[in-house]
Amino acid sequence: MISVGIDIGTSTTQLIFSRLTIENRASAYAVPRVEIVNKEVIYSSEIYFTPLQSSTEIDAEAVSQIIRNEYQKAGMTPDQVTTGAVIITGETARKQNANLVLNRLSDLAGDFVVATAGPDLESVLSGRGAGADRLSEENRNIVANLDIGGGTTNISVFRKGSLYAVTCLDVGGRLVKVENGKITYIYTKLKELAERNGILIQVGESAEEAKLRKICKLMANQIKEALQLSKNVEKNFILYTNDGKGLPEDLKISAVTFSGGVAGYVYEPEEKDLFRYGDVGVLLGQEINRCGILDQVLCYKSDETIRATVVGAGTHTTEVSGSTIFYKKEKLPMKNVPILRLADADEETPDLVSQAILRQMPIYQSEDKLDPIAISLTGSRYSSFTSIQKLADAIINATVSIQKKGIPLIVMLESDVGKALGNAINIKLRGKTDVVCIDGIKAQGGDYVDLGEPVGGGHVLPVVVKTLIFNS
């Protein structure tokens, strides 16, 4: 499968194409187990400064033109792309027309390319693109990746290979901009932080290294405090993005990796031209290097620095559901389907399954309008023929309103019983309602899912589970 990753960040916009290889990993006599076994970046674009029309608007046409040009350079067309992600990240995600740009680029990039934004997802993608998940698995420890861009620092924490926690700070290299020796922009919250620490700074004044270095030191200490490696910063004024939550208080980080545009100056802080990018990114990298983080925990070299997020978007958004699945091909692809998640306690009996679905269904209804939803559960209690039949009855009884509207019934399971359950529901409904039942996919309530067209001879569906909200 060909996957695309497009990252429109505070400072830079870039694109990669990747080739994902899927393979049946089971033996000849076992139930097929299809997995993504190889991820190879086959084209990387130039790194562009993100075009803006103003401080509050992205230049949608200029961004679209960059993407069109890079598709041509790569020799790709949208119909060749099976999966991937277009994400607007950092401070750019807060621009007035961000959603409009996402929708426009999603249509341009390909039929099954996710359009999404938000610091939680960006943290995960950049961490995986940097290789923090792999490093934590290999070393059996807890690794935090700090993706430090122009407007935000996304932190993702992996414990023995698994995602453990995420958070995001309004700390970045372009929160102070410098042009011709003068300060031309200061992020409001950063200005407040500086003033709380006795540093007065104004747009239009000279860009003094000593003063700006002090402000960058404040930002570095914000990161140190967020990692719980310092107790010297005011806890009631941490610059969490959108007033989000920090990392769990009992977290003990073993090591860090760095990615993003500022990362190079954390790993290699020697740079003479401090304002070479028209901002304080170089100073910020140097101050993070000096603030004591590297004295307290191990520091691993990341797989990617400035390209970590776009690599994560291109190679780590897609999962596959295959072999033990049930679907109607003509109903695919489906995009932006909200997920109704059942709690473990709701799965204890078929009656509780029905009650939980009925209880949550009104959340997805608006003025008698019901759109497709995906019912997500583990399914671990339902593995025998009899129990699957009872689970099918429970789902059918709870989704009468969906059936009456002629809307496809979508069920997502973690355990490998998708085909059996899908067949049971289809037979009981006598084919009157279209059924899509997939397995091997884990999701949470509030997430959305995209289901792609079948690949691998029809045995596999590409699936992207995404978080479209900030600080979920």
Q: Cβ atoms within 10 A of the Cβ of 279, count? A: 26
Q: What angle do the packed helices 418-428 and 385-398 form, to 10 degrees?
A: 60
Beta strands in 345-472 (DSSP E): 365-366, 369-370, 374-377, 409-413, 435-438, 448-451, 460-466
The pLDDT value recorded for residue 306 is 63
Q: Cβ atoms within 10 A of the Cβ of 393, count? A: 16
Which domains does the chain possess?
2-117 (3.30.420.40), 122-307 (3.30.420), 319-466 (no CATH)
Burial class (CB within 10 angstroms; exposed 0-12, middle 13-18, buried 19+) of 290: middle
The stretches in the chain having pLDDT less than 50 are: 29-31, 314-324, 367, 467-472
d(CA 247, CA 217): 21
The pLDDT value recorded for residue 194 is 94
SS3 79: helix
8 A C-beta contact, residue 184 and residue 175 = no
Mean predicted lDDT score pLDDT of the chain: 81
CA distances from 161 to 156, 191, 300, 414, 465 (A): 12, 38, 15, 19, 19
d(CA 336, CA 465): 9
What confidence tens digit (pLDDT) does each residue in 304-355 have?
766 655 565 544 444 444 444 666 666 677 877 878 888 888 899 999 999 9
The pTM of the whole model exceeds 0.85: no
8 A C-beta contact, residue 168 and residue 185 = no
What confidence tens digit (pLDDT) does each residue in 294-310 have?
999 999 998 776 665 55
DSSP secondary structure letter of residue 343: P
The pLDDT value recorded for residue 118 is 60
